[in-house]
Amino acid sequence: MMSTPTLKTPLIIVNFKAYREGVGENALRLARVAERVASECDVCVAVAVQPTDIHRVSSETGVPVLAQHIDPVEYGSHTGHILPEAVREAGAVGTLINHSERRVSLDFIRRAVERAGDVGLTTVVCADVVEMCRRVAEVGPDMVAVEPPELIGTGIAVSKAKPEVVSGAVEAVKAVNPNVSVLCGAGITSGGDVEAALRLGAEGVLVASGVVKAGNPYRALLSMARAIVRI
């Protein structure tokens, strides 16, 4: 059995969402691309997959795997909820919380971060604006990912279109807790987008369609990883 991988910055998280290209057998194939790029560039590349793919991807590759969501519940009568212990046992090392496509309340975020901590899951909490990044940082996650929802999936990178959002998020989060890492996402599709993000103070990126739906996911991800190496 492979040793359990860990998340470290600078970091690329590839969110497979529920894209056909990132589910089931395709999820495993794409995770192996991430594993190859990570090895070639010596950069941490993690993947956020559907709950049903966590075990297979984590057991058959060496990439860190994240759940796309968890619920702040404990063992018991919670049909349909995603139990933190279950995704941890399946092989996840972390989880996304409050992605713009799975928005939750600040109280939910607080409880989910606490439950994730109970089972040893690294938390990556998404936020849409600088003020929300500040409020999320007060909850105590491991990472905050700023993602303006209007740019998600557009191919217009937040690091270039709204650089003040990235730099503002970094300033706001670090003022609350300098130990919380700041990532950025939305529209990231190239190495240039990643390089711009890192120069603004981000410690990594959260990407999705720019890799998952790329004509050549390997080349797309390699470009991003090489940008990190250059910085």
Catalytic residues: 99, 147
- Phi, psi dihedrals of residue 3, rounded to the nearest 5°: -70, 155
> Alpha-carbon distance 53 to 77, whole Å?
23
- Full DSSP string of 156-192: --HHHH-HHHHHHHHHHHHHH-TTSEEEEESS--SHH
The amino acid that residue 187 corresponds to is: G
Backbone angles phi, psi at 221, to 5 degrees: -70, -35
Note whether 22 and 206 are within 8 A (CB): no
